[in-house]
Amino acid sequence: MSTFNCHSTLLLIRGFDLFAQLTEEEYEELHVIHNFIEAGKGEYIYFPSRNNNKLYFAKEGYIKIGYIDEQGNECIKEVIQKGEIFGHLTLEKNNSLDEFAKVYKADVSLCAFNVEDFYSLLQKKPLMALAFSNQLGKKVRKIETRLINLLNKNVQSRLINLLIQLIPEKDTSNSVAIERFLTHEDIAKLIGSSRQTVTTTLSELESQGLITTTKQHIRIPDVNFLKKSAMSDS
């Protein structure tokens, strides 16, 4: 993992909605130039119980968040995408994470802040604190929805809901294409199913005209109709 040393880092970080109004002085306070990093495929951002008191923002790429079970198997909790946050979300100092964060599929660009620096900035910027709270709330609701789906919905509904969650937040169109960055095995772990069942269910969704698939994308021609299908199949 290496430092991303570039004079354009201020412009890069302003690409996040949360930091759109960041001044140059506040940018300097966050020490961004020292915390903008790139990591290669397969590298760990952090390990279980390794306390680094940092909050991360994904600039590019995908990050796998997971844990190791008692049998030594790697279990996936979620996959972080561009624009999402992870790490010490509660901003608690010295609160160890019982999880790992690992670069997934391809190289990633991240912005990492010390919890103390970030918390200090939020105290000075009430609007940024509100924006951060809203972003964190969306993340919590996403996790809650996934847990409820695991408990109460069948495999097809769980798979549909995962596909809907993978739609980029800023894409509000009713016809979308989702990049196929998850393997069937990964999808199975995320929805509590098996790889074979995921493969079969995707084929069923395609035969019903709810999705079309290519090697690069899963296309959803009618997002609203797909959502209704998930509700009726619960």
- Positive or negative, the CA dihedral 109, 111, 114, 115 is negative
Which pLDDT does position 118 carry in this prediction? 84
Q: How confident is the model at residue 155 (pLDDT cuts 50, 70, 90)?
A: very high
Backbone angles phi, psi at 226, to 5 degrees: -65, -40
The tens digit of pLDDT for each residue in 81-133 reads: 888 888 888 766 655 568 899 998 888 888 888 888 888 888 888 888 888 88
The yes-or-no verdict on residue 58 having pLDDT over 90 is no
Backbone angles phi, psi at 50, to 5 degrees: -95, 105
Query: What stretch of H or E contains 145?
Result: helix 126-152
Q: Which of 140, 143, 148, 139 is nearest to 77 (CA)?
A: 143
- Average pLDDT (5-20) is 59
3-state SS, one letter per residue, for 24-91: HHHHHHCCHHHHEEEECCCCEEECCCCCCCEEEEEEEEEEEEEEECCCCCEEEEEEECCCCEEECCCC
For the chain, what is the mean pLDDT? Answer: 82
Percentage of the chain lying above the pLDDT 70 cut: 82
The yes-or-no verdict on residue 156 having pLDDT over 60 is yes
Which pLDDT does position 63 carry in this prediction? 92
Structure token pair of residue 11:
């412009």
69 vs 53: CA distance, rounded Å: 24
Q: Which of 31, 33, 45 is nearest to 8 (CA)?
A: 33
Which pLDDT does position 34 carry in this prediction? 58
**More confidently predicted of 27 and 5:** 27
- Average pLDDT (72-78) is 84
Amino acid code (one letter) for 111: C
The tens digit of pLDDT for each residue in 161-184 reads: 999 988 887 778 899 999 998 999
| Helix, coil or strand: residue 208 | coil
Angle at CA 152, nearest 5°, toward 150 and 156? Answer: 70
Which pLDDT does position 11 carry in this prediction? 54
Q: How confident is the model at residue 136 (pLDDT cuts 50, 70, 90)?
A: confident
Which pLDDT does position 4 carry in this prediction? 43
Structure token pair of residue 117:
């620096």
Residue 164 · residue 191 · CB < 8 Å:
no
The yes-or-no verdict on residue 33 having pLDDT over 70 is no
Which pLDDT does position 216 carry in this prediction? 92
Q: How confident is the model at residue 209 (pLDDT cuts 50, 70, 90)?
A: very high
Write down the number of H helices and E strands in the chain. 9, 10
Q: What pTM, to 2 d.p., does this model score?
A: 0.76
28 vs 71: CA distance, rounded Å: 45
- Average pLDDT (208-228) is 93
| Helix, coil or strand: residue 172 | coil
**More confidently predicted of 218 and 1:** 218
